[in-house]
Structure formats: structure tokens, C-alpha cells
A and B are shown apart, each in its own frame.
Chain A
Amino acid sequence: MRKKQNRTQQPEIDRRTFLTALGWSGVGLSGLIAALGNLLYLKPAVEYGPPTRIRGGKAKDYQEGIKEVLENERVIIVREKRGFAAISSTCTHLGCTVRASDAGFECPCHGSQFDNDGFVTGGPAPRPLDWYQVSLAPNGELEIDKSVKVPPETYFKV
């Protein structure tokens, strides 16, 4: 009975409860924002590694069917009838470096195999090798941008 009476007289949340909740949400929110700021601070923003845009030599020097391995850049430049492709030599399984083989590419670490277009033909790799964007610089050199991935079989025609 008394409870019912109280309800009608008093608002459901009194001033003290409301202000306490407000205070705590303020503390919680600022804590959350601070934590988020710290996380963003740690997020790698600047690439300190080697440059992502690399030059691959004159386009006309490439013979058809050639697979040019740029070891340090971890990129393989492929020249096919359909055009140029820049395929990543980083295995999609666990990050080892693949090498060119007769059938395409193979990873020495855990035996993943890929065909010439980087599609998986065997082993534990879950997806095809990455393809990077290829373009032509004004001086006729190939330019590969490792920060831009393109779907497989996107050949660049000269």
C-alpha cells in the first residue's frame, strides 16, 4: 500500500539517483574515450617499411610467359598474352615466401601449391595469392602498388 502511495507522489528516479547515474556515466564514458584513444595511438598509422609503390623495369623488356621474381619486394611480375600481373609472393597460408615452379608457385613451408594465376591447387592455403595493381609510368616502366589489391586475373594490358 505504502509503496503504491510513494509511486504516485515521487518520480520513479529521484534526483540523487539520477545525478549519481549521470556522474558514473560521465566517468565511464571518459574512461572509454581514453581507452579508445590509447588503442588508436597504438594502431600502426605510418608505414615505416619499404615503399609500397615499386618499379618493375621497362614493360617492353618482358617476354611472354616470363615470371620475374622481385625477391626483396616479395612480388612476382608475370607477363602473359593477356597482359601483366603482379602477384604477391607471400603465401596466404602462414606468410612464407612462395617460389616459382613449373606448375605455377609453391610454398616451401607447408607445401601449398598455386597455379600460374595464383589459385590454390594443393596444400593448406585458404585463398589465392594476392594480386597488386599494375600501371605504366610515363617513362614506360611498370609500376606496382602493393597497397592496392585487385581481384585475380585482372591483367594489365599495355
Chain B
Amino acid sequence: MPITAEMRETARGKMHAESFSSRFKVFWKNVYRSLFRYGRMPRDAEGQSYAVFNNLFLHIHPVKVSKHSLKFTYTLGLGVIATILFLILTFTGIWLMFYYFPSATEAYNRMLDLRSSVDFGFVLRNVHKWAAEAMVAVVILHMARVFFTGAYKPPREFNWIVGVILLLLTLMLSFTGYLLPWDQLAFWAITVGTSIASYAPVLGEPLRKFLLGGDTVGQEALVRFYVLHVVILPGLMSIFIAIHFWRIRKDSGLSHPNENGSSARGGAT
């Protein structure tokens, strides 16, 4: 069969197309490998180790964890749930900041706008609210879990204290956020709450003035609570969460029934 010019042309075209797609595949593989060096779903021990170890977001985890710490009936997942709630609250909170205005005359109107005018505004506000209420409850339950499993004992004393600080920060975050909608519920809850603080001897009244920026709950109080709620307390929270996680690893992972005196000191996992 003689080779015609037409056949030669199609063959050349095919070859050209193939080489383009294969070149693109190589290009894509290079891009992908520059991001993830150990494949999509590593199945061997080396790949699974590096998948965690070489990933900024995953390397807060050790490469290997004990089976016991994965038991849902042991941890009830409460610490992880609290973290998830904090992440969701950060995300929805930043989104809400696009519309919120810490002004005594404007804040309440923005609440009404979020509820009726802004697309999905009510979803963001509701998720933020319910996640905040859930976080207070989950953090308290997490503390109860740690107590009832004796997980605060040496070498984890310091991490228990970090946990207490995180509980207080959670309460303060919730409390400062309570004022921001500037409705009756917010105004009087903060009036009552800060009045309770003023019963502390000597420091009470200055503390109340310090928090409110004046004698009564007003514009100054709103700005102060806003700054605390969106910058200072979340910042502190992130730092202490980081310490909390870091200490879990320095204290040889989660508490374990087979621990003995010599093993749990300064594990380097």
C-alpha cells in the first residue's frame, strides 16, 4: 500500500497531538510534584510519613499515633471538635466583619441587614452564633473528659493549665461577642456581667471602667469589646492552641492506660 501525502499529513497531526498531551501531562506532573512530593494517596510507609511530615498544615500531627488515642470512646473527639469550631468561628467571623460596624447607632441596623438583605447573611450569623454556643459547651466537656480520664497528671500538668487558659479565653470571646449585635439582650447582659466584675475588691471598679471605656455601656464599650473580640482574644487563643498542641506531642501524645513512669518523659514524636 503506497503512502499518500494525505496519510502522511494525518500521521503527523496525530503525532503532534500526542506529543502535546504528553508534554502537558509531564508539565502537570511537575507542577503537582512541586506541591505534593509523595503522590496523591500514598500507600507505603515512606509516602505516608512524608505526606504528614512535609505538609505545613498536617505537620502539627506526629507521623504515627497510638491506636488508643484514635478510639472515639476514649476522647469523644471533643478536643478536635473544639478546634473545628474555632476554625469555623474564625472563618464566619472574618466574613461577618465585612458588613459589621462597631457603632452604637449602626451596629443594630447591620444585624437587620444581615438577617434580611445580605445573601446568606443569616446563615453566616447563625452559624457563628451556634458554633460559639457549642464551643463553650464542648470546651467544658473536653475539660471534663480530661479530668475523668486522669489525663492531667504528670507529665501533662502544664497542658492542663494551658487548657484552663483556653477555657477562660473561650468564655471571654463569647462574652465580648455577646455585646456586638447591640440589641436589648446584648446591652443588658453586658451591663449585668460587667457589674458582677465590679464587685471585686479594689480592682473591680477600675476593671469595669477599663472594659467599658466609661461608666456605662455605650459607644466606647462597643469599640473596646469589638477590638477584644476580633483581634486580641482570637490572637491569644491561636497562640495558646498552638502551645496546647505542641505540648501534646512533647508529652508523648494523648494519655494512655499503659503509661509508666519512665516512658512518658519528654517523648520526641
Please measure, in the bound complex, the distance between the C-alpha atom of A96 and the C-alpha atom of B214, giving whole angstroms.
16
Given contacts A49-B218, A94-B196, contact A44 B213 (CB under 8 A): yes
Residues of B within 8 A of A109 (CB): 188, 192
Q: Is A44 a contact of B191 with CB atoms below 8 Å?
A: no
Selected contact of A44 from candidates B195, B196, B210, CB within 8 Å = B210
For residue A11, CB closer than 8 A to chain B, the reply is no
Measured CB to CB, the nearest residue on chain A to B199 is A126
For residue A99, CB closer than 8 A to chain B, the reply is no
Q: Is B220 a contact of A48 with CB atoms below 8 Å?
A: yes
CB pairs A–B below 8 angstroms (19 shown): A42-B210, A43-B210, A44-B209, A44-B213, A44-B220, A47-B215, A48-B220, A49-B216, A49-B218, A49-B220, A90-B216, A95-B192, A95-B195, A95-B216, A96-B188, A96-B191, A96-B192, A109-B192, A126-B199
Given contacts A42-B210, A44-B209, A44-B210, contact A49 B215 (CB under 8 A): yes
Number of interface residues of A (CB under 8 A): 14
Q: Is A95 a contact of B210 with CB atoms below 8 Å?
A: no
Please measure, in the bound complex, the distance between the C-alpha atom of A121 and the C-alpha atom of B220, giving whole angstroms.
34
For residue B219, CB closer than 8 A to chain A, the reply is yes
Please measure, in the bound complex, the distance between the C-alpha atom of A93 and the C-alpha atom of B209, giving whole angstroms.
16
Q: Is A95 a contact of B214 with CB atoms below 8 Å?
A: no
For residue B194, CB closer than 8 A to chain A, the reply is yes
Please measure, in the bound complex, the distance between the C-alpha atom of A43 and the C-alpha atom of B214, giving whole angstroms.
9
Chain B contact patch, size range? 10 to 19
Which residues of A are interface residues toward B (Cβ below 8 A)?
42-44, 47-49, 74, 90, 93-96, 109, 126
Residues of A within 8 A of B194 (CB): 95
Residues of B within 8 A of A48 (CB): 213-214, 218-220
Taking the nearest CB of chain B, how far is it from the CB of A125, in angstroms?
A: 11
Chain B interface mostly helix, strand, loop or mixed?
helix
For residues 176 through 224 of chain B, which have their beta carbon under 8 Å from a beta carbon of chain A? 188, 191-192, 194-196, 199, 209-210, 212-216, 218-220
Taking the nearest CB of chain A, how far is it from the CB of B176, in angstroms?
A: 15
Residues of A within 8 A of B210 (CB): 42-44
Residues of B within 8 A of A47 (CB): 214-215
Measured CB to CB, the nearest residue on chain B to A93 is B195
Please measure, in the bound complex, the distance between the C-alpha atom of A94 and the C-alpha atom of B215, giving whole angstroms.
13
Closest 7 CB pairs of A and B: A95-B195, A94-B195, A95-B191, A44-B213, A94-B192, A49-B218, A49-B214
Taking the nearest CB of chain A, how far is it from the CB of B27, in angstroms?
A: 54
Taking the nearest CB of chain B, how far is it from the CB of A75, in angstroms?
A: 13
Please measure, in the bound complex, the distance between the C-alpha atom of A109 and the C-alpha atom of B188, giving whole angstroms.
10
A sample of 13 more A-B contacts (CB under 8 A), given A95-B192, A95-B216, is A43-B209, A44-B210, A44-B214, A44-B220, A48-B213, A48-B214, A48-B219, A48-B220, A94-B191, A94-B192, A94-B196, A95-B194, A109-B188
Measured CB to CB, the nearest residue on chain A to B223 is A48
Residues of A within 8 A of B213 (CB): 44, 48
Residues of A within 8 A of B192 (CB): 94-96, 109
Taking the nearest CB of chain A, how far is it from the CB of B62, in angstroms?
A: 36
Residues of B within 8 A of A90 (CB): 216
Measured CB to CB, the nearest residue on chain B to A52 is B215
Please measure, in the bound complex, the distance between the C-alpha atom of A109 and the C-alpha atom of B196, giving whole angstroms.
14
Please measure, in the bound complex, the distance between the C-alpha atom of A27 and the C-alpha atom of B96, giving whole angstroms.
41
